[in-house]
Structure 1
Amino acid sequence: MTTSKHFTWMHIGAGSFHRAHQAWYLHRLLVQGDRRWSIALGNIRDDANQLLDILAAQKGEYALETVTPAGERSYEKITSIRKIIPWDEPLSALVGQGADEETRVISFTVTEGGYYLDTHFRLDQSNADLQADLKGGARTIYGTIARILQTRRSQDTGGVTLLSCDNVRHNGERFRDGLTEFLTLRGERDLLAWFKTNTTTPNTMVDRITPRPAADIAGRVKEKLGMDDRAPVMGESFIQWVVEDNFIAGRPALENVGVEMVGSVVPYEEAKIRILNASHSCIAWAGTLIGQSYIHESTGTDDIRRMAHDYVTQDVIPSLMPSPLDLAQYRDVVLDRFSNPYIRDTNQRVAADGFSKIPGMITPTLIECYRRGQQPKATAVLPALFFIFMRRWHDGELPYDYQDGILDAAATHAMFKSADPVALYARDAKLFGPLASDKDFEKLLRETITRLDAWVLAKAPRVTAQ
């Protein structure tokens, strides 16, 4: 890390979060005068081509607007993305950059569904994209990274750190296990051996609420920075990044810009995933059901805030103790952040990917409560809300398009058409693991759904619960 040579940090996933989070940290290094690292940005799918074209025209530069809970806005031109990788169907440009000797870190933000894991953390081989990649394709992170690593191996360009930057628990370990299984299924024994000795996959915890940019942000950016920016991003003022310090081929001096480089991220990620992420989804599902559009609006609704507060206080905090963090204080900070009226984060954005969030963020707390001999009444509210939310989806009555990377639409519609949808839902092992065969859990879930149906009807009487 002390050499003057220039290195590339390649990021896969051209969404707002990367540009408001990791790119911001590397930009701060540039501002400090450390110019050894810059970002090359690309995408696996073709759904970000317009954004990539805009960023290419802007030479990778864009504005970041941040806003505090008190409404104080700040503006900064982000300059750490120095190369935009054009998308092509075989991903030749992405693979070429990933295999380049100067590329020493490859990070990615694929979210929960992008790991294609079941509740036993094995690859869900029924997924069509994963099936295609097992036959040599590059539609998923596994097929794409396999293609990059094969090229690095053949060109002898050395080891590389593969860095997950999303909300999946133990994300580095999950990715490593997933890619190991993927290469094993493909019979890639030589590449698997190379992967095991020439890469590291640190665990990380990332945090910054990054809503879709408001329609009027471009005008504010023009006024404050003089930029005609067609790709601005916005985020809350709060930011955190905790990274396991395990980089095989060097890394930026991230500790100089506030990144917490640690031996283990487990206490941080458990608190963040269970307290922040799960509560966020709880608020989004509940708010949607009573006709609300924004997270701050729903967090400010007493009943909904109480659901999230009780879930954390009664079930999560006992599950995470002992902890080096003040979990009650963390809970309060999180709820205050969600209450920020200036972020205008949508329930639609946060409500997405529930079929991955239930097993990843919520079921562990359910299981641990039962292990302690406690009935998880407060936690059961979350999957109950999701059931009612998806029933609304089934009936075509959601006010927006629901997005979920692993949604099996046909199976979900069939569940709600069955004689007892709650039974099928409660017995879904992909969602609830060992609790899927637990009659007490099914009874609790049924009672909670009935109670919340009445709550929804009382709060939004014009919407008839089924």
Structure 2
Amino acid sequence: MHYTKEDSILNNSQDTLNPLNKKTAPIQDNCVGLEYPIKVLQIGEGNFLRGFCDWMIHQCNKKGYFQGSIAVTQPRPAGKEKIDQLKEQDGLYTLLTRGVENGDTVTSSEVISVFSQVINPYEEWNTFLQLAANPTLEFVISNTTEAGLNYQPTLLEEGVPIQSFPGKLTLFLYHRYLHFSGSTEKGLTMLPCELLERNGDTLKECVLRYSKEWELPEAFIKWIKEHNLFLNSLVDRIVTGFPKAEADALFTAWGYEDFLLNTAEPYHFWAIEGNSELDHRLPFKKAGLNVHWVKDLSPYQTRKVRILNGAHTLMALRGILSGMETVKEFMENSNFSHLLHEVIKKEVIPSTPGDFNENKVYAEEVFERFTNPFIHHRLTDISLNSLSKFKHRLLPTLKSYADLNGALPLGIVQAFAVLIRFYKIEKLKGTWTGEDFKGYPYILKDEEYVLEFYREQWLQYQENQISLLQLVENVLGNKDFWDENLNRIEDLSNLVHKYLEEIIKA
């Protein structure tokens, strides 16, 4: 949530506190990292990177392992306000970490001091490009959202800032290539954090495409391919940003104001598809952080989708139909919480590829995160595009379980029935609306063709044109939804019908 100095003046009747910067008394002696050489270019000034990898680098610096700082820049002109604030605060900000860890509620705060240079490329384009000549630079870390990690046709004009992140990176790398005369020792390691599968591969493809579009030398393209690393990675941490309601009380307790205050949960996980020897250069694991250098990222992606995201979808649909609003509320209901634990434990984990014990530990961490009293994760937010989410998060578990056991996972089958009931909807004043078990309305958001299909199916059932079993079979047989006819899975339609009938009669 955005917070300004004006908010502070209006809300704080006491004397104005000093702003956070290098002169702020409480942290004068704790600015480790600001004097270190720049080793990282970070494209992305937002909450997530500041609550994730910047915090990690700070931990490494405190132990003397990394001894490097970060030059940070924003990917879009809209990031100017936060970049300007970072400059005013000498690159400093506070991270408040709070949540549940090993069964205990924990809270801690720390001033993060990793930004030694802050650049607005739309106002300081030459300064940004000159950074390419820095001999100590080794890494590029980014989070520009999934929309930022794509190719956009762009003209290359002298002195004109490039809008797209991959375009900026391409020209930046070309300047580095020219400055160091194509030295094989001066390539960089790219670590994109965008939530996109094969994000490193995608970024590399974009850079190579720009290189060819702009007719850059073949020798440069060869240098990109052979002497730069584009690593695929998977990040996981809930970073909730500025705690506006509590900010003034926190500032008073700390003795300074911080308009870039950020909050995060204790849990953090980063899997990077790369050689473990890279930890010598970027010593996350050595510093005791939950970072893993892996040969294949896919098991970690599958684990997250099936366990964490699958649990989210399981609880969202049933919770909304039961009149609940948040993940926390669902988990505090002993019956629902027990049901969710049983489905994950007995159906999801045994059907998920990878090490069974590692998956089990991961699931335990997920449930602990769900009980975080400081995070209010709305079930309606999780329920967006629920049909597609069911397809990618829960259907693979259903099929894997059936293949392994010769029987269907009844918890997932029940969830399928809940999904169909969730889409019992009508369109009221342009808004797609359903009713929960007590008759209270909720709003659905999904592709229009999905919503139209379900409305028509439920309307036909209510007018006795089709039976409930036929409705189920029509849903399961819709290849536009599932890319296959799910009626071919033995006994699935009968069981879904059985559970849906019980839901309707309850």
What TM-score do the two structures reach when normalised by structure 1?
Answer: 0.71
Classify the secondary structure of the residue corresponding to 1:84. Answer: strand
Shift of residue 52 of structure 1? 2.4
> In the alignment, which residue of structure 1 is the partner of 2:84?
53
State yes or no: 1:202 paired with 2:236.
no
Q: Which residue of the other structure, out of 358, 362, 368, is the alignment partner of 1:330?
A: 362
State yes or no: 1:72 paired with 2:106.
yes
2: distance between equivalents of 1:383 and 1:11? 46
1: distance between equivalents of 2:262 and 2:194? 18
Shift of residue 21 of structure 1? 1.3
Shift of residue 388 of structure 1? 4.8
> In the alignment, which residue of structure 2 is the partner of 1:126?
none
8 A contact 1:10–1:39 mirrored in 2:
yes
Shift of residue 64 of structure 1? 1.0
> In the alignment, which residue of structure 2 is the partner of 1:213?
242
2: distance between equivalents of 1:111 and 1:449? 40
Whichever residue aligns with residue 78 of structure 1, its letter is I
Whichever residue aligns with residue 328 of structure 1, its letter is K
Shift of residue 376 of structure 1? 6.1
Whichever residue aligns with residue 214 of structure 1, its letter is P
Shift of residue 450 of structure 1? 11
State yes or no: 1:427 paired with 2:479.
yes
Q: Flag the 1:92–1:330 CA change in 2: closer, same or farther, 3 A.
A: same
> In the alignment, which residue of structure 1 is the partner of 2:272?
243
Which blocks of at least 5 consecutive residues in structure 2 are unaligned? 1-34, 435-440, 459-473
Whichever residue aligns with residue 262 of structure 2, its letter is V
Classify the secondary structure of the residue corresponding to 1:8. Answer: strand
8 A contact 1:63–1:76 mirrored in 2:
yes
Q: Flag the 1:339–1:265 CA change in 2: closer, same or farther, 3 A.
A: farther
Shift of residue 26 of structure 1? 1.0
Q: Which residue of the other structure, out of 287, 292, 298, is the alignment partner of 1:257?
A: 287
Q: Per-residue CA shift, 1:2-23, capped at 9, x if unaligned?
A: xx98233122233222111111
Q: Per-residue CA shift, 1:326-380, capped at 9, x if unaligned?
A: 4233313311221121333444665678798667655654564565465566557
> In the alignment, which residue of structure 2 is the partner of 1:163?
191
Q: Flag the 1:87–1:179 CA change in 2: closer, same or farther, 3 A.
A: closer
> In the alignment, which residue of structure 2 is the partner of 1:133?
153
Shift of residue 24 of structure 1? 0.8
2: distance between equivalents of 1:279 and 1:437? 25
Shift of residue 210 of structure 1? 1.8
1: distance between equivalents of 2:279 and 2:476? 48
Q: Per-residue CA shift, 1:185-244, capped at 9, x if unaligned?
A: 888783543321121123334332222433233234324432201121111222333434
Q: Flag the 1:89–1:364 CA change in 2: closer, same or farther, 3 A.
A: farther
2: distance between equivalents of 1:383 and 1:289? 12
State yes or no: 1:15 paired with 2:46.
yes
Q: Flag the 1:332–1:133 CA change in 2: closer, same or farther, 3 A.
A: same
> In the alignment, which residue of structure 2 is the partner of 1:464?
none
Within a 5 Å distance, the mapping from 1:56-455 to structure 2 comes to: 56-69=87-100, 70-86=104-120, 88=122, 97=131, 100-111=134-145, 130=151, 132-133=152-153, 140-156=164-180, 158-173=186-201, 175-176=203-204, 190=218, 192-246=221-275, 251-259=281-289, 260-264=291-295, 266=297, 267-280=299-312, 282-284=314-316, 287=319, 292-302=324-334, 305=337, 308-323=340-355, 325-347=357-379, 364-365=396-397, 368-369=400-401, 372=404, 375=408, 378-379=411-412, 381=415, 385=419, 388=422, 395=431, 412-417=447-452, 419=456, 426-428=478-480, 432=482, 435-436=483-484, 438-440=486-488
Shift of residue 77 of structure 1? 0.8
> In the alignment, which residue of structure 2 is the partner of 1:120?
none
8 A contact 2:416–2:496 mirrored in 1:
no
Q: Flag the 1:101–1:228 CA change in 2: closer, same or farther, 3 A.
A: same
Shift of residue 104 of structure 1? 1.6
Q: Per-residue CA shift, 1:238-291, capped at 9, x if unaligned?
A: 233343444889833323322345343644444334322442454456545655
- Shifted more, 224-233 versus 244-253: the winner is 244-253
Q: Flag the 1:89–1:275 CA change in 2: closer, same or farther, 3 A.
A: farther
Q: Flag the 1:290–1:39 CA change in 2: closer, same or farther, 3 A.
A: farther
2: distance between equivalents of 1:382 and 1:283? 12
Which blocks of at least 5 consecutive residues in structure 1 are unaligned? 117-129, 404-408, 459-466
State the number of aligned residues: 430
Shift of residue 39 of structure 1? 1.8
Q: Flag the 1:389–1:10 CA change in 2: closer, same or farther, 3 A.
A: farther
Select the structure of larger CA radius of gyration.
2
Q: Flag the 1:249–1:330 CA change in 2: closer, same or farther, 3 A.
A: closer
8 A contact 2:387–2:419 mirrored in 1:
no
Classify the secondary structure of the residue corresponding to 1:72. Answer: strand
Q: Flag the 1:164–1:369 CA change in 2: closer, same or farther, 3 A.
A: farther
Whichever residue aligns with residue 336 of structure 1, its letter is E
Shift of residue 76 of structure 1? 0.7
Structure of higher RCO (CA pairs closer than 8 Å, 6+ residues apart):
1
